[in-house]
Amino acid sequence: MTSLFTGYSLAGLALPNRVVMAPMSRVRAAAGGLATPSMAAYYAQRASAGLIVSEGVQPSRIGQSNPGTPGLHTDEQVASWRPVTAAVHANGGRIFAQIMHGGRVSHPDTTGMQPIGPSAVPAVGDVFTPAGPQPAPTPRALETAEVPEQAESYARAARRAVEAGFDGVELHGANGYLISQFLSSNANLRTDRYGGPVANRIRFAVEAVAATVDAVGAARTGIRLSPGGSFWGVQESGTIELYTALLAELARLEVAYVHLEATAEEEALLTLRRAWRGALIVNPTLPMGPKQTGRDDADHWLGQGADLISFGRAFIANPDLVERLRGGLPIAPVDETTYYQGGDAGYLTYPAHQYAA
């Protein structure tokens, strides 16, 4: 069986192992969406991962979901990311930027703008704002002529990511954010070419990916998906048909990888694996669910045909997670209260495993 610790060529990028650090929001960016020296240290500590996927990075001001998150839409932001990517590379790592457009999962108190979405349907739940959680507002439905501009925003951010030294980008097509909203059958009530039948609901995702491939190349472009997921109240009708159609288009574009979350039953995910013959990253446990991904989960999915396995929360408290997994060492617990509190506590303060003298 394939080992978690054997190398892998990801669209020509040589990975020393098959452990991926999953994207996780940590809301430590400085004012103006700037990356910081602490962020450089955080990612560099975890550079032994085969691949790091950064926290979600907004491609535009209107695409920002949460306060305290970084961007890739100004020259200053690009400059702030260069020390981060340089630190990861200096430690022997590889890093993709996750480009995340929040769509309706945002708030005017965060961006100064009314959120946008495929339809005027609010997300379910409270969104983060500078003043604390507030009910998700009703977004402004995009006019048909406006939709391509939002798809192109991913490509513009991808160009800036490459300028900043990232090895590639991952479009966030999961978890109820903008691409996921267009895929949805209850957040997307459109009757134009972007809504209704499967071929129309996948159109925005395909256009965003195609624009990104044109901008930085297919070898530098991946996408994360959450088939059947219900984050922020999204629902999807005909999930298998929807994602099979989307994967066929992604195959035509020859993207570097697809990153699937375990938001559907295993048999459904295996059906999608059979439909997608390219590189596949699997996140084996539900994001923010009750269980963290462990070695057994990784081995199981490698045996089921995944090429790479992404670990989320385990990487927060274990900067040396690859070595802990390799040596069967204890996985340190994470302090959930420090996920989003800011500062270096619970961010840079987790040590590597201490061997007994």
Q: Are 255 and 200 in contact (CB under 8 A)?
A: no
Give residue for tokens 């978690």: 4
Cα–Cα–Cα angle for 310, 315, 316, rounded to 5 degrees: 135
Q: Which residues contact 310 (CB under 8 A, 6 or more apart)?
A: 20, 21, 22, 53, 259, 281, 282, 283, 293
3-state secondary structure of 298: helix
Among residues 42, 43, 154, 177, the one annotated as catalytic is 177
Closest CA to 303 of 288, 284, 323, 322: 284
Helices (H), 46-146: 75-90, 108-111
Q: Are 57 and 345 in contact (CB under 8 A)?
A: no
In this structure, the strands spanning 95-99 and 51-57 are parallel
Instruction: For residue 339, indicate whether it is catalytic.
Output: no
Cα separation, 75 vs 184, whole angstroms: 34
Catalytic residues, by residue number, are 177
